[in-house]
């Protein structure tokens, strides 16, 4: 069944879930001025990667990336997809642990962190167990319920900006590309190449028109810009760089006198939690799908087994410093998923078409 708009919606919401949390701090730490260069560089990488990926997928007749790689050979598929599986597990751990920390800080200061993470893992596993169509429907529900307050807070976040902080637009009058090798910039790629890989897993159960996914990708650019520049224009670089969650802090100081609620940040944070739950469930479904292709077992048992193991790993992470190390180690797998998987998919697709749709193995 063709569900282009549902897939595009899921693509946008899962990125929103990770853009406004860790990404602002990473980009602010990576550069002192001219942050727009880093934002635009990451976005262009995202466009190249996603467009190459969906172009390669479109060259096959509604087949997913796992079946495409299996046709090239079981060992080739294993070597290509094993790092993807590890990457998905690491992303789930990072998301559960980091958002569990945020929930504890903002909402449940007296609740043990393990309880928050357990609830997150259970909710994500329950949704993942229902399958991709249930995840897509949940995405539409969250769009209706959570997007209006999210947009309201995004517009309200400009309340205290000082546009003088926008200058200088260039560092030393010329482009400086040293940030590309900066550890913080590379860690920030989690928001750039975090969830697009699911586009290769949903077919043939769910089909989509690649053209509209391309259009949807441009909606992410202003979100990247707002996430980074609103804290910078509100506090300046020196202060914003000292904040753990810069954008969340900005939403906490927004004042709307006619609103009956004192803290608008609660609406925004709750929306982000809902979006990241959607993101975690999607990554969990991807990981379970990979396992199911190797082992003939029911999907629900795989989901719960993976969720339990990852929860144990989350509990074993003692502090934020260890979590940052995991994010850094996962950066290498993220670069692999961002460049190798789309590149191989596009190459196999071109070979497939060159041979007139015949096997390329």
β-bridge mates for residue 171, sequence order? 174
Cα gap 37→46, rounded to integer Å: 14
Q: State the Rg of the chain over Cα.
A: 20
Residue 171 has pLDDT above 80, yes or no: no
Is 4-354 assigned to CATH 1.20.1740.10? yes
181 burial (CB, 10 Å; 0-12 / 13-18 / 19+) is exposed
Cα gap 33→27, rounded to integer Å: 10
Better-scored residue on pLDDT, 108 or 65: 65
Looking at residue 173, its pLDDT comes to: 45
Residue 175 has pLDDT above 70, yes or no: no
Looking at residue 361, its pLDDT comes to: 47
Residue 261 has pLDDT above 70, yes or no: no
Render pLDDT for 335-353 as a digit per residue (tens, 0 to 9): 999 999 999 999 888 887 7
Render pLDDT for 303-346 as a digit per residue (tens, 0 to 9): 899 999 999 999 998 888 888 888 889 989 999 999 999 999 99
Looking at residue 184, its pLDDT comes to: 85
| Mean predicted confidence (pLDDT) in 251-258 | 74
Residue 299 has pLDDT above 80, yes or no: no
| Sequence spans of domains, the chain | 4-354
Mean pLDDT of all residues in the chain? 85
Reported confidence tier of residue 263, pLDDT bands at 50, 70, 90: low
Handedness of CA 329, 330, 333, 334 (dihedral sign): negative
Claim: this prediction has a pTM higher than 0.85: yes
Under a CB-based contact definition with an 8 Å cutoff, are residues 52 and 340 in contact? no
Give alpha helix (H) positions in the chain: 4-19, 23-30, 35-58, 65-71, 74-106, 113-129, 132-156, 183-187, 210-217, 220-235, 237-240, 246-252, 265-294, 299-316, 320-354
| Mean predicted confidence (pLDDT) in 5-30 | 88
Render pLDDT for 39-90 as a digit per residue (tens, 0 to 9): 999 999 999 999 999 988 888 877 888 888 888 888 888 899 999 999 999 9
Instruction: Provide the token pair at 312.
Output: 């144990």
Residue 359 has pLDDT above 60, yes or no: no
**Residue 343 to residues 13, 40, 80, 268, 337, Cα–Cα distance (Å):** 25, 21, 11, 36, 10
């Amino acid at each position: 069944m063709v569900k282009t708009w549902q897939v595009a919606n899921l693509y946008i919401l899962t990125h929103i879930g990770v853009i406004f949390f860790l990404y602002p701090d990473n980009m602010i730490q990576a550069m002192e001025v001219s942050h727009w260069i880093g934002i635009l560089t990451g976005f262009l990488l995202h466009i190249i990667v996603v467009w190459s990926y969906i172009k390669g997928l479109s060259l096959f007749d509604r087949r997913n990336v796992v079946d495409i790689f299996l046709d090239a050979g079981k060992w080739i598929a294993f070597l290509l997809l094993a790092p993807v599986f590890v990457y998905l597990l690491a992303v789930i751990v990072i998301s559960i642990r980091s958002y569990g920390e945020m929930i504890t800080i903002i909402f449940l200061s007296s609740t043990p962190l393990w309880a928050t993470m357990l609830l997150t893992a259970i909710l994500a596993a329950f949704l993942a167990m229902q399958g991709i169509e249930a995840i897509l429907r949940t995405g539409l529900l969250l769009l209706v319920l959570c997007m209006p307050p999210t947009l309201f807070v995004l517009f309200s976040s400009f309340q205290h900006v000082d546009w003088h902080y926008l200058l200088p637009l260039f560092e030393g009058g010329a482009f400086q590309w040293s940030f590309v090798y900066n550890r913080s910039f590379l860690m920030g790629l989690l928001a750039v190449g975090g969830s697009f890989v699911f586009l290769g897993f949903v077919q043939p159960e769910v089909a989509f028109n690649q053209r509209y996914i391309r259009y949807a990708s441009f909606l992410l650019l202003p979100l990247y810009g707002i996430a980074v520049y609103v804290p910078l224009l509100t506090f300046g670089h020196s202060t914003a760089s000292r904040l753990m969650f810069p954008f969340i802090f900005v939403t906490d100081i927004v004042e709307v006198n006619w609103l009956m609620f004192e803290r608008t940040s609660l609406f925004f944070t709750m929306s982000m939690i809902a979006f990241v739950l959607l993101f975690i469930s999607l990554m969990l479904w991807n990981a379970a799908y990979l396992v199911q292709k190797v082992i003939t077992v029911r999907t629900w048992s795989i989901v719960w087994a993976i969720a339990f193991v990852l929860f144990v790993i989350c509990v074993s992470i003692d502090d934020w410093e260890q979590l940052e190390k995991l994010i850094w180690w996962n950066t290498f797998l993220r670069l692999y998923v961002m460049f190798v998987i789309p590149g191989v998919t596009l190459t196999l697709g071109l070979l497939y078409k060159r041979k007139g749709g015949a096997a390329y193995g």
